[in-house]
Structure 1
Amino acid sequence: MGGVTGYGSGNDLDTCRQGVQSRVDNDINNYVDKYTSEVKSAIDRFVSQAVSGLKNAVEEHLFEYESVVNNMMRQHKEKVNSLSQKVREAEIDAVELKQRKQRLETLQSRLIQI
């Protein structure tokens, strides 16, 4: 009878052990699933914040770069306008100098004839 009882309680112990193991496995799986989900959410938030920060930095850089480029273009246009004005003035001066030269040559030829 003891052998039968021992055999029977061994099966009960094995069944109990399997039940405990099953509950522990479920608890571990639930714990891992819970924290895996939390870690994934934390990583997703970090990536989202990093992307947002990078986007803001790029937009800020583009805004500053655009401002610098626009300023350089404005300065270049001012220089072009200034140089164009100076070229026009030089051309006017050249025409005036040619006219003066012609008048002087005319006066000189008149003086020689006197």
Structure 2
Amino acid sequence: MGLSKTEQFTEEEILIARFAKALGHPARIAILRVLLERKACICGDIVDELPLSQSTVSQHLKELKEAGLIQGDIDGKKVCYCINEQVWKQAQETLGVLFQSYTACGSSCC
């Protein structure tokens, strides 16, 4: 999606796309599961849980943070990440509305 075309979409469509992009990699889903399980986590702990290098995990954390799904606090040389509850609820609601808007069309669908 080109930057010049985003004004042609609704805020909701842009928000859904942002969340979908952040959720669009299995490593990011795995990171979110670690954070959901532990409630908070140091970046090094996440690296220990996944078969990925520190730099790769950091890139995925950056994507999740840019989407707002996670937040992090710097504590010396460590960054403690956790789920951003407000944005998480927004993602649940926004994606839920999209998925709940589907109604089965029976035999008239392709």
Question: Is TM-score (shorter-chain normalized) higher than 0.5?
Answer: no
Q: TM-score range by the shorter chain?
A: under 0.3
* TM-score normalised over the length of structure 2: 0.21
* TM-score normalised over the length of structure 1: 0.21
Query: Which structure's relative contact order is higher, taking Cα pairs within 8 Å and 6+ residues apart?
Result: 2
Q: Give the strand-richer structure, 1 or 2.
A: 2
